[in-house]
């Protein structure tokens, strides 16, 4: 394989390489890092972020942004907790429905009223957060343990956490939609050049409407998992989730300007950031260093910056090498 090909592959799959290297480091340095309990815990907890990041990926691929996903997840957790006594499916549907309502508002503001996505989703972020606090009376809302609702977040299926299966199913569906449907091709076309896409006769408004709606629904589903996993709806949870989602999407190689993106690489970005947090906790446990949550945030931010810069440089070198040939 030529040097040009290697550079191109590293630029495209840099996040996967970084993920594998981080896993290798953890396996060599820490006992039980690849034990079932740790793997299960990482997958269970990060499934919420994976769902939020998936919706964000599609939104960013159209050239937009969704700042409301964290507040929407918090709202979904509160609504799901309030309806959990009615049964598992009622609680699940209520939480996802709350997310879809926020997504519907975002989609309407962006596509019908032509409000910039940053402004529109900032407004709904504040509204969703306020609504969650009002419904919860500014406190956590306990879920029903008798209805089976907590099984969603706390049980396993074939040995793996149910939230991980839910996230995996969502990513498989997202991958199929992006790569094998006209809607997926339209998402990339809109992000690449919206005016040209409109001139080609593609339904730009409908495509953007659907991605914001889906982003809200996935955030609501993440909220359901949050409530069922921790036994309570959390109205003040979700702060910073939108930043985690954006970071995972960008690390995965999706351009903030739109037109380029990968569902699989986004999942790798989520796992990379989640496992980095896990590694820092293991490091604290060894006693060599003691990193507070604040320092962990600093290190994660620096790590993210390094990965993004290296990935951008490799991609640029790959493009230059291709042009030279």
The encoded tokens of residue 316 equal 């640029």
Please, are residues 279 and 26 in contact by the beta-carbon 8 Å criterion? Answer: yes
The encoded tokens of residue 121 equal 């989703």
Instruction: Please report how many Cα atoms fall inside a 13 Å half-sphere around the Cα of residue 285, on the Cβ side.
Output: 12
* 295 pLDDT more than 90: no
Question: What is the arithmetic mean of pLDDT over 77-88?
Answer: 96
Instruction: Please state, in angstroms and rounded to a whole number, the distance separating the CA atoms of residues 2 and 325.
Output: 12
* 178 pLDDT more than 90: yes
> Which run of H or E residues covers position 156?
strand 156-157
What is the reported pLDDT for 322? Answer: 47
pLDDT tens digits, 192-206: 999 898 988 889 999
Which of 71-75, 95-99, 167-171, 275-279 is the least confident region?
275-279
CA distances (Å), origin 213, targets 91, 102, 203, 206, 321: 20, 8, 16, 10, 40
Query: 123, 96, 133: which is closest to 237 by C-alpha?
Result: 133
Question: What is the arithmetic mean of pLDDT over 32-57?
Answer: 95
What is the reported pLDDT for 114? Answer: 94
Between residues 31 and 66, which one has the greater pLDDT? 66
The encoded tokens of residue 214 equal 């889906």
* 53 pLDDT more than 70: yes
Q: Are strands 232-233 and 160-161 parallel, antiparallel or unpaired?
A: unpaired
Between residues 231 and 253, which one has the greater pLDDT? 231
Q: How confident is residue 299, by pLDDT bands cut at 50, 70 and 90? A: confident
Instruction: Please state, in angstroms and rounded to a whole number, the distance separating the CA atoms of residues 289 and 257.
Output: 39
Instruction: Please state, in angstroms and rounded to a whole number, the distance separating the CA atoms of residues 277 and 152.
Output: 24
Please, are residues 279 and 55 in contact by the beta-carbon 8 Å criterion? Answer: no
What is the reported pLDDT for 2? Answer: 60
Q: How confident is residue 150, by pLDDT bands cut at 50, 70 and 90? A: very high
Q: What are phi and psi of 166, to 5 degrees?
A: -65, -45
Instruction: Please state, in angstroms and rounded to a whole number, the distance separating the CA atoms of residues 72 and 117.
Output: 16
What is the reported pLDDT for 12? Answer: 63
Instruction: Please state, in angstroms and rounded to a whole number, the distance separating the CA atoms of residues 125 and 37.
Output: 35
């Amino acid at each position: 394989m030529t040097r040009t090909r290697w550079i191109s592959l590293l630029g495209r799959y840099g996040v996967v390489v970084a993920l594998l290297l981080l896993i290798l480091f953890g396996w060599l340095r820490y006992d039980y890092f690849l034990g079932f309990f740790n793997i299960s815990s990482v997958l269970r907890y990060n499934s919420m972020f994976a769902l939020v990041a998936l919706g964000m990926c599609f939104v960013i691929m159209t050239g937009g942004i969704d700042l409301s996903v964290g507040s929407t997840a918090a709202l979904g957790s509160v609504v799901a907790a309030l309806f959990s006594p009615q049964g598992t499916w009622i609680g699940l549907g209520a939480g996802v429905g709350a997310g879809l309502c926020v997504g519907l508002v975002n989609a309407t503001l962006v596509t019908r009223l032509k409000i910039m996505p940053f402004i529109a989703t900032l407004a709904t972020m504040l509204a969703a957060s306020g609504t969650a606090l009002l419904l919860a009376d500014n406190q956590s809302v306990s879920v029903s343990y008798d209805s089976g609702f907590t099984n969603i977040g706390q049980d396993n299926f074939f040995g793996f956490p149910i939230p991980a299966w839910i996230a995996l199913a969502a990513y498989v569906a997202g991958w199929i939609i992006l790569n094998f449907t006209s809607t997926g091709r339209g998402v990339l076309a809109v992000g690449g050049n919206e005016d040209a896409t409109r001139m080609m006769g593609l339904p730009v408004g409908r495509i953007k409407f659907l991605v914001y709606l889906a982003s809200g629904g996935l955030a609501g589903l993440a909220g359901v998992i949050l409530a069922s996993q921790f036994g309570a709806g959390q109205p003040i949870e979700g702060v910073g989730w939108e930043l985690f989602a954006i970071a995972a999407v960008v690390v995965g190689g999706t351009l903030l300007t739109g037109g380029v993106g990968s569902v699989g690489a986004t999942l790798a970005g989520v796992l990379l950031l989640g496992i980095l947090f896990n590694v820092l906790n293991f490091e604290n446990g060894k006693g060599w260093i003691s990193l507070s949550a604040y320092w962990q945030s600093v290190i994660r931010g620096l790590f993210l910056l390094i990965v993004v810069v290296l990935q951008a440089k490799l991609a640029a070198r790959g493009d230059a090498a291709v042009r030279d040939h």
